[in-house]
Chains A and B, each alone.
Chain A
């Protein structure tokens, strides 16, 4: 196959291009790997935060019913509550059942109380996506319903937790995008600095009748190699970060009552990331190679 020798030369030239300044290549790849790992790390943290929000304990309020409300009215009230936006379900804690439970647990302490002082209570659970504002609005509506004596909400903890997780996720996502742009600049700059050939060599290739693709290919390969290596390095750094960060993150999750854990992105995403890095490197190599070829030609004339 005749193309093999030409491709072999181009690969050899690309490797020499990078090998001629091996220290600069190594430090450049490490720098690009770190730069690529930063948005990846932000992505993993944002993903962990997002999963955390999805698994937040649901908001719950207690609705105390006025005494003497009959079972038909209780059923109707439950129906009304469950139609409200954000409400997942309203579970009746019947006063008789609650009193029996209390007596069983308190024993002698309740023996002198002759009649059941407890009201019927609805434990109203909200959907996981319900915002604190939606929960408060529903609580206010429920408070105005007939047969409702009072509504007990304790949403401060919920509001703080959701706010904290959402803010962290938003900051990570937006700074990740910003860092991503910077990374693009770093990676393209790296290819520009390292994928270079002496103008005289390009003039020589032009002189001996090498086609443009033959001349450009080593730049494409060198660019792809650089970013490919950098992407592999970035994945290694992310794997190391997982090992280091997951234990303290899990502790924090326990304190917040949510599951917090860095997870490696799914394989298709990793493959897409590596492919994108290769394409960016190869594209940058082609672009800067083309410029060097044009510059060599200009010097020539």
Chain B
């Protein structure tokens, strides 16, 4: 009986002929003597014979389909992998670029002079003082090495140092009678200078094209350091003041 149990464990390989020659002979000799094992072997051989061993064959079309599908999947996979590797770098680059642009915009907004144009009501409008004299009185003297040349009395240019805020002061040239204004209240000169008696300057100012001329705030200009002074060009004749 012990031999039958041993044989039973080998029958599966025996029916396929997979045992070694010695094992095959051992099973065959036992089956000749044991009818039960012999019957079992016959049944299993018939069972296996029932089950077809052939598998369907691939057609050329199916073969091509499998190959193309596999290639496409591999390509898509490699592309996804490439994108996923690129993605953190791309995100980091994007963040850095955004930070750089934001910082640049913030810095630009700080260095950009703020231009304030005040709308002065008509009744409060001040007569135009002599712009050349007023500016010259408040401006920091220019170094002697740089001669100032002005082609026209109204040709006023202001060199603005960055980071220094110069509000634009409005100079209004109205149709107010300047002489009458001076007599009423000479101290209303917007620049604080005495009104010039030189009418030529007024006439020159009247001949200016734009009605609003930006000039530096005298108070601000006074407080600025010497090397970064606003440079006012004025006629050479008044430079010696």
Partners in one complex: no
Q: Using a CB–CB distance below 8 Å, which chain B residues touch chain A?
A: none
